[in-house]
Structure 1
Amino acid sequence: MTIRADEVIDRRRLRRRLSFWRAATLVLALLAIFGASVWLAGDEFGGTAANHIAKVKIEGTITEDDELIARLERIRKSSAVKGVVLSIDSPGGTTAGGEAIFDEVRRVAAEKPVVAQVGTLAASAGYMIATATDHIVARQSSIVGSIGVLLQYPDLSGLMDKLGIKLEEVKSSPLKAEPSPFKPTSDEARAMVRNMIMDSYDWFIGLVVERRPLTRAEVTKLADGSIFTGRQALGNKLVDALGGEREAIDWLASKGVDPDLRVIEWKPQRSGSSWLLSNSLAKAVARWLGLPEYDAGLIRELGGERIFLDGLLSLWHPDNGLWGN
């Protein structure tokens, strides 16, 4: 069958039109997704959201988190945020990480009412951050406390002897690079570490004394590493009330915040193009483009970031291993 030249031209025009409309549909879909993301996230993406209560989740192992610090700063500056709920579920983490977040929460609390709502756990540096708020609400069965500091490291010298490995070192002074996992800890090194630990411990106690209605003697008695249920923590004045988010919002209402305001969670901003997509939608787009669906959140959920903690820790039940440098 012979195809005329004008029919070939018409078919090519039709194909070009179809390609154009396919591309236009994809662009419109992406713009719609972007617009929905901005509308849902409000001020988090620089929009003009209506007045609301900001909710920030602090979960898992605490480290120095630049993104969280920046998010709290945006919340502080947002005129749409009338109150803040910190939802805490953390066993603690590094003292430096806890200190950085504590300081930023205090900056927010200087301008807006901030309340902590403890879920399953607010221990060690997690409790440190909770004390930065002006009111702490915990469930009756929540785990609260574990006020203290630690540094752990293994002693591999016995294993090295069995394997016939000998350590050779030349250093400028006896305490350089001490304590070391490759040899038994000397009395001098142990004393140095203990002095450092006790100084940070004294600082931690000072924060709790400053923020809670307790004397130093009362805090010191509680700060032996013990953990408490929410009920016990209330009796010990480590928390202010029992309950959940409803009770946290009731406290905000006592500070002049409209309890009928919508509670909007300020989530971490994502890097790259996925910041404007939900996690599931980003995965769907990745599959469509033939890209892997890697999710760093899965690693965090499995506790993988604990392997890389460095420095002094304020952590409840850390895994065995090298903690500190």
Structure 2
Amino acid sequence: MADEKPDPQKTTSSLTTGNGEQVVRLVIEAQSTSKSRWGTKLLGLLLLFSIILNLMLLSSYGDYFNEFDGPLERYHSGSKDAEQKIALIRVGTTIMPPYTERILEQIKKATEDDSIKGMVLVVDSPGGLVADSHQIYHRLSQFAETKPIYVQMQRLAASGGYYIAMGGGDKGKLFAEPTTWTGSIGVIIPHYDITQLADKVGVQSEPLKTGEFKDSLSMFKPISERDREVWDGILDEAYQKFLGVIENGRPEMTRQQIEDIATGRIFTADQAIANGMVDEISFLDDTIAKMETDLKAGPMRVIEYEYPPTLTDVLLGSASASAENEMSLLKQLLGSPAPRAFYLLGGSQ
């Protein structure tokens, strides 16, 4: 028979009473080692969370009261000693907040800098919100009134990406890489009909509203003919605006030619050139060199803009910021009950 191991949680003791009887007393000692260890870890985690939270609050306070002078200028290429500059501005995201504000700030800074003689706008975007695309286009148009803009399309310059490329006006030039996809000219308002799913799970939508169209495009009802009439008018107005900016930016194309390509389809770089949508095949370095030659102002310094990271950015980390960027479009499409119109590549939603 195996030896019985003593229970570390139990101890025994004996005592003798006055009449000589021996009484055995069992004392149970609860070991708290494991509980104590978990308690220490929990306190440590709470302390770490408290420190991070306080640092973030301190950072937010500092960011709020810190004076903002706009984006910082950084050397990209060219002559480091040249006083005259070319501004390189990148649009490499879906066109929507908070990126819109940063792009507008960069264009504004380049516009106000007398030493900047031209801009190369680098577009690698599937497009984005109608209003944001037009805000950027408008600011670029103001710049193009006095200084030239060359557009370098990279992987994708579709829908709103092509819209802002028209900001260079009739004097601007459009360049695409050999593998660029562009076009997707049109407007889309995402809508999801979940009425059948709602019926299956027993969900009913009964909004309290003040007008017939207040819940227009609700996911819980089919689109009525009257709804469609209203939204068709809104879509057509945004669509005609898109055609108009192309007409201004590509004056060699007729209105009919523009309408023929404005079907929402994607074009390769060679197809875009054949249809008059793009001027040349080129890479960024070559496009910058072309602008420097066309300016005929001697050696140029090419600069771009960046934003210094705040303490909040550092605390959150780049991984968190990246995840937020990936989710932001999904939030715009699904997270808001308000209808949103997009100049956006069809498959992006």
Q: Tell whether the structures are fold-level matches, with TM greater than 0.5.
A: yes
- Partners of 1:209 and 1:145 in 2: CA distance: 14
2:326 aligned to which of 282, 299, 302 = 302
Task: Provide Cα deviations, 1:133-168, integer angstroms capped at 9, x if missing partner.
Answer: 211100122101010001111111111111111221
2:272 maps to which residue?
233
Higher strand share: 2
Identify the range of structure 1 (121-130 vs 132-141) with the bigger mean alpha-carbon deviation. 132-141
SS at 1:181's partner residue?
coil
CA contact (8 A) 1:52 1:263 kept: yes
- Partners of 2:206 and 2:237 in 1: CA distance: 32
Compute the TM-score of the two structures, normalised by the length of structure 2.
0.69
Compute the TM-score of the two structures, normalised by the length of structure 1.
0.74
2:8 maps to which residue?
none
Alignment of 1:196-211 (within 5 A): 196-211=234-249
Shift of 1:128: 0.5
Alignment of 1:176-187 (within 5 A): 176-187=214-225
2:86 partner letter? I
* Cα distance change, pair 300–53 in 1 and its aligned pair in 2 (3 A): farther
1:194 partner letter? D
- Partners of 1:217 and 1:101 in 2: CA distance: 26
Aligned residues, how many? 263
1:62 and 2:95 equivalent?
A: yes
Alignment of 1:46-57 (within 5 A): 50-57=83-90
CA contact (8 A) 2:153 2:174 kept: yes
- Partners of 1:190 and 1:211 in 2: CA distance: 31
CA RMSD of aligned residues (A): 2.5
CA contact (8 A) 2:292 2:299 kept: no
Structure 1 or 2, whichever has the larger Rg, is 2
Alignment of 1:27-38 (within 5 A): none
* Cα distance change, pair 297–239 in 1 and its aligned pair in 2 (3 A): farther
2:259 maps to which residue?
220
- Partners of 1:135 and 1:101 in 2: CA distance: 17
- Partners of 1:140 and 1:312 in 2: CA distance: 30
1:158 and 2:196 equivalent?
A: yes
1:249 and 2:288 equivalent?
A: yes
* Cα distance change, pair 235–250 in 1 and its aligned pair in 2 (3 A): farther
- Partners of 2:192 and 2:281 in 1: CA distance: 40
2:279 partner letter? D
* Cα distance change, pair 225–156 in 1 and its aligned pair in 2 (3 A): same
- Partners of 1:250 and 1:172 in 2: CA distance: 59
**Percent identity at matched positions?**
27
- Partners of 1:295 and 1:204 in 2: CA distance: 36
- Partners of 1:118 and 1:39 in 2: CA distance: 24
Unaligned runs of 5+ in 1: 1-37, 43-47, 275-281, 321-325
- Partners of 2:90 and 2:298 in 1: CA distance: 19
- Partners of 2:72 and 2:129 in 1: CA distance: 35
2:346 maps to which residue?
317
* Cα distance change, pair 272–54 in 1 and its aligned pair in 2 (3 A): same
2:106 aligned to which of 39, 61, 71 = 71
1:261 and 2:313 equivalent?
A: no
* Cα distance change, pair 316–113 in 1 and its aligned pair in 2 (3 A): same
1:121 aligned to which of 144, 156, 171 = 156
